[in-house]
Structure 1
Amino acid sequence: MTAREPITLPLELDRPPKQAEPALRGDSITADRYTSNEYLQRELEQVWRRVWNIGGVSYQMTEPGDYLTTEIGHESVILVRQADGSAKAFLNVCPHRGTRITDAAEGAVERFHCPYHGWQFDWEGTVVAVPDEEDFRESPCGRARLHEVLCCERFGLIWYNLDAKAVPLEEFLGEQITSELDSHRMEAMVRVLDITADAESNWKIITDNFNEAYHVKVLHPELIPYIAADYQDCQFDLFPRGHNRGWFPAFMPSQQYGSEVIGEPLKTMAQAWGVDSDDYQGRETWSDLRISIQKSKRELGAERGFLHYAYRSNYQLTDYVIYNIFPNNVITVGPDGVQLLRPRPHPTQADRCYFDHWWLVNRVDGQTMTPSPAGGPDLPVTDAEHEYVTYGEQTLGTTADQDLSIAKAQQAGLASSGFQGFWMPNQERRVQAFHEHLNDLMASP
């Protein structure tokens, strides 16, 4: 793995830089993209084979021969650490007669072995041994290979792309998003939550949900006392290639908070940094409270073990920023960690998907437990084992449960003849932009 010089944004930044607003066409958003299995199959070819996907966390593969497997649609991909420290990615298909090489989620090998006829492959995907080699007219050893796909490591994550002609990851993301994600130094974090849920909706319903905050005041009232979710206080930005960003000031209530006096949980959150919220009476003082907490974190962070505060911009000390990386990677960064909220398409059923929920946190000296990002119990600060659940049988955390419950309800409505198309306010323009970029990919050869 090649080390990069850490990026630090200007410390005095109070919000992300505003981007120029591109014009939107106003394409209609049809129900078939959520309900049609035929549309799903075209989507798997036209979209999912042309974008950068996240396969895993880099520290899962530290030694040569360490590997992970990941799935997108019909494809299974093997990610494997090479002898020189780089990572390569291969389609999980034996060139002999098409058997998957491995069903393991992760492991370590000297060689990969096909379970059907015993063909062996080195870390570079080359066939190095086969039974009855003398029986072949031309030996496959040294000639036959696993199908390699593009692979890249960035932000402590391993990315892959099935399109051999794809632009590099940094170009795909753009300079602004790349630098901002780099500034959080995710490579130093540990993943403390790793859950996949079998969800009852199309993947785009969940993506749409994370492309807007209009629903927060109704669906997530527990966030209102400490996160400003009103569009007047927030900032939404559109980027090329279908990406977008939402900035949400925190440590200050939303406008519809029903009191002039700060209550819980913000009162305790402020007190933890030596700030008395009772000194901030009235809505006009709420932004001052946020700034006071930023100053306190700047002054006290290092002595309390929050060493990462030294390279955080002011807004990164308190606020939440959601990066929606087209088509489905929702990366939410906060003061002390990063969430990945990611719906992946079901390979055959348009009304189902797989929903991944990761939570990566900064390591803090003496801290052995960390709060859950979504209303669940505190989590140990250790690498989490992967859990696979069926939605409804186990909680994913309060916020994620709420999002998936409404996704199921929306899926049912979109299948109805009563669906009349979307009627959206300007604050939902990220949804519109997402679908317009999706339309472009679906229409292009």
Structure 2
Amino acid sequence: MTTKLVDTPVAAKRRRHVANPDDIGSLVQLDRVHGSVYTDPAIFELEMERIFGRAWVFLAHESQITEPGDFFTTHLGRQPVIVCRDKEGAIRVFFNRCTHRGAIVCREAQGNTNRFQCPYHGWIFDTTGRLAGVPYRGAYSDEFLADEGLNLAEVPRVENYRGFIFGCLSDTRVGLVKHMGPLIEGIDGILERAPEGTVSIPVGVHQYEFRGNWKMQIENGMDEYHPPFSHASSVKKGGHQMQRAYGSTDGYKVVRGSEDQEVGYAESYYDIAECHGADYGQAFLTIPDDSRKVDLREESYKTKMIAKLGEDGYEDMFQRTRMSNAVFYPNMILRSTGNVHIRTIQPVAVDHTIIRVWPIQIAGYADHM
């Protein structure tokens, strides 16, 4: 695919970078980033090829497809896919594209079925992706219908790490665990802190979209400068936000200083936050004090965890809990403490992004938590 660049003075200045993709790195300096990184359609196309076409991309959580026949539709980059359990309970990921004329096969967001029927010409595929039915079958030869290429194409690499399902379009030798690196702690930590050892996504999704570049949301996941200002309407006197996590009666403290100070002039409580980078674009945020884990001191929870881990084990777990936001590059942000949730980023165009947020339920938490 060839993307034509608009011939403007700014475009001309950067054309040499796009003409030689290996030189794109020069658009990012230690103290600045060129605006074209967020606005140039040609750079966006390279990102779809080199990032979303090669990296491990988060697709779903296994709790969203618990039974045979359960399915969940999403995107791997710009490719629509179906994540489902076949009749034997195995997890499969198909390209959501009919092998007849390329139409979208499944238009539902989630559900249960024993077959997928293309709404265009009625071709039917079972939950293993096999072509199971063709209207006016007599119009086709048996030899043609025996072609395995008529089955739904599967995403070439799929891995499930403790319930978190990822897919990869390339044949890279980098496995999922190596790709995630230190971000594994984000997933492991949530499961360690679950009294019953499991988590789920049992409820609906908050979906919104914005006219902007997908990287803006990724960067925002590591931005602890903005909360006292962008979220100022949620901050009360004393610097506390409205309650966002059970067990936190006052809400997280996001601004330090006296109650008389206005948010815009107060010292940010997030000055103590620490940002960390890792290989393959991964990044995570840690909060070195106890402000993001007050729920772990809730009495009924504490009693359960001491019974499970012992007093020393519980206290060790509490002290080790530091990771707040884990940015699983390129498309998922896991809030691993406090109001835990999954946030996914779907790039549509260079200036169009869809965000979906699912709250995570931790098995064993008391009802009031």
Same fold (TM over 0.5): yes
Q: Which residue of 1 aligns with 2:264?
A: none
CA distance 1:303–1:351, change in 2 (3 Å): same
RMSD of equivalent CA atoms = 3.4
Q: Which residue of 1 aligns with 2:351?
A: 351
For residues 365 and 300 of structure 1, what CA distance do their matches in structure 2 show?
8
Conserved? CA contact 1:130–1:141, under 8 Å = no
Conserved? CA contact 2:344–2:357, under 8 Å = yes
Q: Which residue of 1 aligns with 2:64?
A: 60
2:218 to 171, 182, 207: 207
Residues 266-305 of structure 1: matches in 2 within 5 Å?
Answer: 301-303=301-303
Query: Any idea what the Cα deviations from partners look like across 1:315-342, whole Å, max 9, x if unmatched?
Result: 356x55211111231111115x522233
Paired residue secondary structure (1:212): coil
For residues 343 and 47 of structure 2, what CA distance do their matches in structure 1 show?
20
Letter of the 2:356 counterpart: D
CA distance 1:42–1:329, change in 2 (3 Å): same
Deviates most, 90-99 or 305-314: 305-314
1:108 to 92, 107, 112: 112
For residues 357 and 344 of structure 1, what CA distance do their matches in structure 2 show?
12
Normalising by structure 2, we get a TM-score of 0.70
Conserved? CA contact 2:53–2:77, under 8 Å = no
Letter of the 1:244 counterpart: A
For residues 232 and 145 of structure 1, what CA distance do their matches in structure 2 show?
54
How far did 1:360 drift?
0.7
CA distance 1:193–1:136, change in 2 (3 Å): closer
Q: Which residue of 2 aligns with 1:184?
A: 190
Conserved? CA contact 1:227–1:250, under 8 Å = no
Pair 1:47-2:51 in alignment? yes
Q: Which residue of 2 aligns with 1:159?
A: 166
Paired residue secondary structure (2:170): coil
For residues 244 and 209 of structure 1, what CA distance do their matches in structure 2 show?
12
1:236 to 247, 267, 275: 275
CA distance 1:300–1:106, change in 2 (3 Å): closer
1:139 to 119, 144, 160: 144
Residues 17-416 of structure 1: matches in 2 within 5 Å?
Answer: 26=30, 29-137=33-141, 138-141=143-146, 143=148, 144-149=150-155, 150-165=157-172, 167-174=174-181, 176-185=182-191, 188-191=198-201, 192=203, 194-220=205-231, 222=235, 224-225=239-240, 226-227=252-253, 233-252=272-291, 301-303=301-303, 313-315=317-319, 319=322, 321-335=324-338, 338-346=340-348, 348=349, 350-364=350-364, 366-367=366-367, 370=369
For residues 171 and 324 of structure 1, what CA distance do their matches in structure 2 show?
15
Q: Which runs of 5+ in 1 are unaligned?
A: 1-23, 254-265, 274-293, 371-445
Paired residue secondary structure (2:205): strand
Normalising by structure 1, we get a TM-score of 0.59
Conserved? CA contact 1:126–1:141, under 8 Å = no
For residues 137 and 214 of structure 2, what CA distance do their matches in structure 1 show?
46
Conserved? CA contact 1:50–1:166, under 8 Å = no
Letter of the 1:245 counterpart: F
Letter of the 2:301 counterpart: G
For residues 210 and 309 of structure 2, what CA distance do their matches in structure 1 show?
36
Letter of the 2:174 counterpart: V
CA distance 1:308–1:212, change in 2 (3 Å): farther
How far did 1:193 drift?
5.5
For residues 225 and 365 of structure 2, what CA distance do their matches in structure 1 show?
38
Paired residue secondary structure (2:73): strand
CA distance 1:179–1:204, change in 2 (3 Å): closer
How far did 1:306 drift?
9.4
Number of residue pairs the alignment of both structures matches: 302
For residues 183 and 55 of structure 2, what CA distance do their matches in structure 1 show?
16
For residues 50 and 125 of structure 1, what CA distance do their matches in structure 2 show?
23
CA distance 1:208–1:307, change in 2 (3 Å): farther
For residues 365 and 270 of structure 2, what CA distance do their matches in structure 1 show?
37
CA distance 1:27–1:134, change in 2 (3 Å): farther
How far did 1:365 drift?
5.7
Conserved? CA contact 1:341–1:357, under 8 Å = yes
Paired residue secondary structure (2:284): strand
Identical columns (%)? 24
Paired residue secondary structure (1:177): helix
Query: Any idea what the Cα deviations from partners look like across 1:131-176, whole Å, max 9, x if unmatched?
Result: 33343342324622211112222242222222244632112112x3
Conserved? CA contact 2:190–2:337, under 8 Å = no
Letter of the 2:329 counterpart: F
Question: Larger relative CO (CA 8 A, sep 6+): 1 or 2?
Answer: 1
Letter of the 1:77 counterpart: V
For residues 306 and 207 of structure 2, what CA distance do their matches in structure 1 show?
30
Conserved? CA contact 2:69–2:113, under 8 Å = yes
For residues 337 and 230 of structure 2, what CA distance do their matches in structure 1 show?
20
Letter of the 1:157 counterpart: F
Conserved? CA contact 1:127–1:141, under 8 Å = no
For residues 80 and 132 of structure 1, what CA distance do their matches in structure 2 show?
28
Conserved? CA contact 1:245–1:323, under 8 Å = yes
CA distance 1:92–1:217, change in 2 (3 Å): same
For residues 32 and 114 of structure 1, what CA distance do their matches in structure 2 show?
40
CA distance 1:204–1:188, change in 2 (3 Å): same
